[in-house]
Amino acid sequence: GQNIDQPTEMTATEGAIVQINCTYQTSGFNGLFWYQQHAGEAPTFLSYNVLDGLEEKGRFSSFLSRSKGYSYLLLKELQMKDSASYLCAVPSGGSYIPTFGRGTSLIVHP
């Protein structure tokens, strides 16, 4: 099994920067995923990290440290539409099928 831990809820102001952290424990690491999920909708893929470091993709960046079992998702220039749940997901035990964390509900206010 594995543990994936991320904050339950975060709030931020439109235009600001927010960092959503995720810690995990797993054996046979095969990468870490971040997904965005709006209420009542299916998750959409944001990023996949398998090597240490920061990967930037537009306003969203994702960081991984395998030795620390730690990742974060960085959202810049926040927009109201970024209000959603952000799911950290890690495949377990050497498989490629990710297990999802509970998700972090991000509320962006004006």
Partner 1 sequence: GAVVSQHPSWVICKSGTSVKIECRSLDFQATTMFWYRQFPKQSLMLMATSNEGSKATYEQGVEKDKFLINHASLTLSTLTVTSAHPEDSSFYICSATWDLTSDTQYFGPGTRLTVL
Q: Given the rule CB under 8 A, which residues bind partner 1?
A: 33, 40-45, 48, 87, 96-103, 105
With the C-alpha atoms ordered 48, 78, 76, 59, is the resulting torsion angle positive or negative?
positive
Contact 80, 14 (CB under 8 A): yes
Shortest reach from residue 20's CB to partner 1, in Å: 15
Sign of the torsion angle spanned by Cα atoms 12, 87, 70, 50: negative
Of the pair 13, 48, the CB lying nearest partner 1 is at 48
Task: Tell me whether residue 35 or residue 72 sits nearer to partner 1 (CB atom).
Answer: 35
- Least distance (Å) between residue 1 CB and partner 1: 10
